[in-house]
């Protein structure tokens, strides 16, 4: 079991997903992924803010932000992703998207992975506001999941994120296999495959 602590508004998490899929091809075996919530911007207003405002505040200038986007775009294209930053008008609060991910997990790993794919592509390729409830309802329906803001579900997401922070997680993606570290970051697929193979061999040696 591969566990990934991630945020749906993290471009490197999307790249990490693609690299894990390619790592599975290198290994010649399927990889089951379980996604765990982490908000890179926990203080983000619930309605989000314009992307330009957010990026300038975080990185100091729009020009530098665009340089970072170019680097992400280059890595994305190598992983088979065409990031469309020009379509991304807002940086959303991602908590509600994590609610959808948590609801999806109750229907199984495959369903959760499908929702992760739709959230990543929706935000980074289509420019959808994945903090907007109507957008999340539509994505949920596409994947057979009912979007809910039920208090119990919110408590699960908060508890899991709090647990990650208490464990020292400060950046995402954080990738583990059967509880052991694979990569703190979106490592290239060859490195991911080699590390997972190493851990599999350790398991078989026990």
Q: Please return the burial class of 131, using the count of CB atoms within 10 Å of its CB with bins 0-12, 13-18 and 19+.
A: buried
What pLDDT band is residue 99 in, cutting at 50, 70 and 90? Answer: very high
**pLDDT score of 204:** 80
Please state which CATH number belongs to domain 2-205.
Answer: 3.40.30.10
Q: What is the pTM of this model?
A: 0.96
Average pLDDT of the segment spanning 140-166: 97
13, pLDDT greater than 90: yes
Can you tell me the distance from the alpha carbon of 72 to that of 132, in angstroms, rounded to the nearest whole number? Answer: 24
Does residue 181 sit in helix, strand or coil?
strand
58, pLDDT greater than 70: yes
Question: Are residues 177 and 1 in contact, defined by beta-carbon separation less than 8 angstroms?
Answer: yes
The answer to whether the bond into 146 is cis (omega within 30° of 0) is no
Can you tell me the distance from the alpha carbon of 190 to that of 192, in angstroms, rounded to the nearest whole number? Answer: 5
205, pLDDT greater than 80: no
Average model confidence (pLDDT) across the chain? 97
94, pLDDT greater than 80: yes
Sign (positive/negative) of CA torsion 145, 150, 156, 161? positive
**pLDDT score of 206:** 52
Average pLDDT of the segment spanning 67-88: 98
**pLDDT score of 146:** 97
pLDDT digits (tens, 9 = 90+) for 20-46: 999 999 999 999 999 999 999 999 999
Average pLDDT of the segment spanning 54-72: 97
**pLDDT score of 129:** 98
Instruction: Provide, rounded to the nearest whole percent, the portion of the chain with pLDDT above 70.
Output: 100
Q: Name 36's bridge partners.
A: 5
pLDDT digits (tens, 9 = 90+) for 79-90: 999 999 999 999
**pLDDT score of 203:** 84
């Amino acid at each position: 079991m591969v566990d990934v602590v991630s945020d749906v508004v993290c471009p490197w998490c999307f790249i990490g997903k693609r690299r894990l899929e390619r790592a599975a091809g290198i290994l010649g075996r399927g990889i089951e992924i379980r996604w765990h919530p982490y908000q890179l911007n926990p203080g983000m207003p619930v309605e989000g803010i314009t992307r330009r405002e957010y990026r300038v505040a975080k990185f100091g200038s729009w020009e530098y932000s665009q340089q970072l986007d170019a680097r992400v775009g280059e890595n994305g294209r190598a992983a088979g992703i065409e990031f469309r930053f020009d379509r991304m008008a807002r940086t959303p609060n991602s908590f509600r998207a994590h609610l959808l991910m948590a609801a999806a997990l109750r229907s199984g790993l495959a369903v959760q992975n499908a929702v992760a794919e739709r959230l990543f592509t929706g935000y980074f390729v289509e420019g959808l506001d994945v903090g907007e409830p109507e957008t999340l309802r539509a994505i949920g329906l596409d994947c057979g999941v009912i979007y809910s803001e039920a208090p119990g579900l919110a408590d699960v997401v908060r508890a899991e994120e709090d647990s990650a922070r208490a464990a020292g997680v400060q950046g995402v993606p954080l990738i583990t296999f059967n509880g052991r570290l694979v990569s703190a970051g979106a490592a290239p697929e060859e490195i991911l495959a080699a590390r997972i193979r190493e851990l599999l061999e350790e398991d078989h040696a026990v």
